[in-house]
Amino acid sequence: MLCITELRNDFYVDGKKRIPQNIYELLTPVALAHMIMGDGNVSRHGLIICTDSYTIIDIVRLINVLIIKYKLECTLRYHTPTQPRIYIRQRSMPLLINIVSSHMHHSMLYKLGK
* Tens of pLDDT, residues 2-47: 878 888 889 999 989 999 999 999 999 999 999 999 999 998 899 9
- Kindly report the CA angle at 24 between 14 and 9, in degrees rounded to 5? 20
> What amino acid is encoded at 74 in this protein?
C
Tell me if the pTM is above 0.85.
yes
Residues 32, 100 contacting (CB under 8 angstroms): yes
Please tell me the CATH superfamily of domain 2-104, with its number.
Answer: Homing endonucleases (3.10.28.10)
State the DSSP code for 104: S
Burial of 66 (0-12, 13-18, 19+ CB in 10 A): buried
